[in-house]
Amino acid sequence: MMTEDEYLLFIRYLTFYMQRLCIATTFKQRFVGLMGLHSLTVDKGLYLPHCKAVHTFFMRIPIRVIFFDKQGQVVRDIPQLQPWSWAYCREADSVLECSVNSLFTLKNFK
């Protein structure tokens, strides 16, 4: 598990690629997520801490979904999760939802 300092560095690493990163902490933020968007720019993303599954119900666009474990290591990357789908990763502790054109590189954080 990451320490608080490691967690802050991890978030900073994510915001290097996505300057408009939102962190979903409330039930409503997590449930609504990116629903309703007609497009998603490469600088925008949604980070869901303590999450193992996501859905794209009611979404209009595909998204890239990256699952991380408790140490910030990438455990699964789905380059194009289509609308009206869902994804699950048992090993995950958090999830990043972003544009399918995201410039995020998949090197491990640590």
User: How does DSSP assign 62-88, residue by residue?
Assistant: -EEEEEE-TTS-EEEEEEEEPTT-EEE
Q: Do β-strands 86-88 and 94-98 pair in parallel, antiparallel, or remain unpaired?
A: unpaired
Which distant-in-sequence residues (6+ apart) come within 8 Å of 27 by Cβ? none
Q: % helix / strand / coil in the chain, to the nearest 5?
A: 20, 30, 50
Q: What is the pLDDT of residue 106?
A: 58
**105 has a pLDDT exceeding 70:** no
Over residues 6-37, the pLDDT tens digits come to 777 778 777 777 788 889 999 999 888 888 88
Residue 43 in this model has a pLDDT that exceeds 80 = yes
Contact residues for 69 (Cβ-Cβ < 8 A; gap 6+): 75, 91, 92, 93
Across the chain, what does the average pLDDT equal? 87
pTM for the full predicted model? 0.85
Residues pairing with 66 in the sheet: 77, 96
pLDDT tens digits for range 44-79: 899 999 999 999 999 999 999 999 999 888 999 999
pLDDT of amino acid 92: 96
Contact by Cβ (8 Å): 34, 65: no
Q: Residue 107: its pLDDT value, please? A: 57
Higher pLDDT pick, 102 / 95: 95
Closest by alpha carbon to 67, among 81, 48, 82?
Answer: 48
- Distance from C-alpha of 8 to C-alpha of 2, rounded to nearest angstrom: 9
What's 4-99's CATH class?
Answer: mainly beta
